[in-house]
Amino acid sequence: MTRTRAFGGVAAGIVLAALAPSLPAAAQDAIELLEPAAADDDGEYRPPADLAAVPTMPSYKPRKTAWGDPDLRGGWPIDSLGGLALQRTAAQGTRVYLTPEEYAAVEARMKASQEAYAREDKEDRIGMGHWVEMTGAGRRTSLLIDPPDGRLPPLTEEGVRRASLMRSSWVPGQTFDWIDDFDTWDRCVTRGFPASMLPFRYNNGMRIFQSPGYVVVALEMIHDARVIPTDGSRPVHGNVAMWFGDSRGRWEGNVFVVETTNLKPGASALNMATIGVPPNNTLPMSDQATVVEKFALDGRDTLVYEMTYSDPVVWQAPFTVRMDIPRNDDYEFYEYACHEGDVQVRNYVTASRAQRRDEAARQRAAYEAGRTAAGGDR
């Protein structure tokens, strides 16, 4: 699959805000790679008899590492789920799986995206092309499997208040005067956690490494890496908060269970560039937020990932995401050159101040014109 280096932060926000309503183009070879995971052997999509059946963790017994742990190692890029929304539509109700008609519509949409990509490539123009790498959407109606309606629970009153205080380049009409008017992703610091584990529109690489006593989850975007002990220990420093929190793992049979605490508030809990996430990148997080993840193989070439997020200060209930990720060991990580040469934060501040200065001058001129028309001071 041919890919180019992608850039993040504020610059990405500008481009993706314009692209958000449309489905990005996808490369031919990537779509072909994913077809076996999206249809049965004969090419026909056959949903389960119960479309509302919530999938469970698999019972597959994977091969073991040399030191005896289940072997999760490999490339698990989540571009294969980039076209699957976090939340399902109200009309889909509690249906976890697509109907054959809905699946056909998804396939047609992906084919149209593939053709758009081919046209852009032939005409030697980037268009949406290499800005986006969505290659599939799978069989389900949403990433969320709980609550049962596949929708995010409401925010608490405190959550709404905190959301109103958050700042980001994604907020329409916001002014900018300093770096704290931007979110952590604008500043190329981090997408935050758990947002970084969910699909985006590019740089969706994820690779798992293992060694005795540790599992490492490497992420392409902002080149984050999560180093997770497997002994089930508790955080040593209970009051030290970090952007990705303190993750501690343990094996429950063939399932790797990870509990994360000590999350540093500041980044948006979910990133609006994941389809179906509320806009503006302003979902707050409190110091009571916790995340429980499960990793397991369903056959050699499918990784099941479930994540339950809880923050009683901000959300009225927890919610659970599930991703069934096809293996792609050929996926290459590319440099995420976000901060290098980044002038967008400065440009936003300069432009915002100039815009307000010009508006103040316009209002002053209108005021003076009104005084003159009225005959001046009396």
Least trusted range by pLDDT, from 9-13, 240-244, 369-373: 9-13
Query: Which residue segment(s) compose the domain that 280 sits in?
Result: 9-341
Peptide bond into 199 cis (omega under 30): no
**Is the pLDDT confidence value at 17 over 60?**
no
For residue 371, being part of any structural domain is answered with: no
For residue 243, being part of any structural domain is answered with: yes
For residue 122, being part of any structural domain is answered with: yes
**Is the pLDDT confidence value at 22 over 70?**
no
For residue 355, being part of any structural domain is answered with: no
Q: Which two tokens stand for residue 174?
A: 């916001």
For residue 281, being part of any structural domain is answered with: yes
d(CA 173, CA 164): 14
What pLDDT was estimated at residue 18? Answer: 34
What pLDDT was estimated at residue 34? Answer: 32
What does pTM read for this prediction?
A: 0.84
3-state secondary structure of 366: helix
What pLDDT was estimated at residue 9? Answer: 46
**Is the pLDDT confidence value at 292 over 90?**
yes
Q: What's the pLDDT band for 377 if we cut at 50, 70, 90?
A: low
Least trusted range by pLDDT, from 37-41, 114-118, 199-203, 206-210: 37-41
As to burial, measured by CB atoms within 10 angstroms (0-12 exposed, 13-18 middle, 19+ buried), residue 172 is exposed
Q: What would the mean pLDDT of 25-34 be, rounded to a whole number?
A: 31
d(CA 266, CA 263): 9
pLDDT in tens, 106-157: 888 878 877 887 788 788 877 666 667 667 788 999 999 999 999 999 999 9
* Torsion of Cα atoms, 321 then 324 then 328 then 332, to 10°: -10
What pLDDT was estimated at residue 257? Answer: 98
Share of residues in the chain with pLDDT > 90 (%): 64
For residue 203, being part of any structural domain is answered with: yes
d(CA 331, CA 204): 10
Beta strands at 225-229 and 246-252: parallel, antiparallel or unpaired:
unpaired
Q: What would the mean pLDDT of 4-23 be, rounded to a whole number?
A: 39
Which residue from 210, 234, 196, 182 is spatially nearest to 64, judged by alpha carbons?
210
Least trusted range by pLDDT, from 217-231, 280-294, 326-340: 326-340
Amino acid residing at 293: E
Q: What would the mean pLDDT of 47-73 be, rounded to a whole number?
A: 96
pLDDT in tens, 209-238: 999 999 999 999 888 899 999 998 887 777
Residue with tokens 């001046």: 376
3-state secondary structure of 134: coil
What pLDDT was estimated at residue 28? Answer: 31
What pLDDT was estimated at residue 376? Answer: 63
| DSSP one-letter string for 263-279 | BPBTB-SS-TTSTTSPG
d(CA 252, CA 294): 10
Share of residues in the chain with pLDDT > 70 (%): 85
Run of H or E including 9: helix 9-19
For residue 159, being part of any structural domain is answered with: yes
Q: What's the pLDDT band for 43 if we cut at 50, 70, 90?
A: low
What pLDDT was estimated at residue 303? Answer: 98
The rounded mean pLDDT for the chain is 86
Question: Is residue 28 within 8 Å of 118, Cβ to Cβ?
Answer: yes
d(CA 167, CA 238): 28
Degrees (nearest 5) of the Cα angle 271, 55, 46?
Answer: 105
For residue 312, being part of any structural domain is answered with: yes
Q: How many other C-beta atoms are found inside a 10 Å radius of the C-beta of residue 340?
A: 9
Which one has a higher pLDDT value, 36 or 133?
A: 133
Provide the domain count of the chain: 1
Which one has a higher pLDDT value, 112 or 5?
A: 112
Strand partners, 258: 249, 293
3-state secondary structure of 324: strand
d(CA 217, CA 227): 7
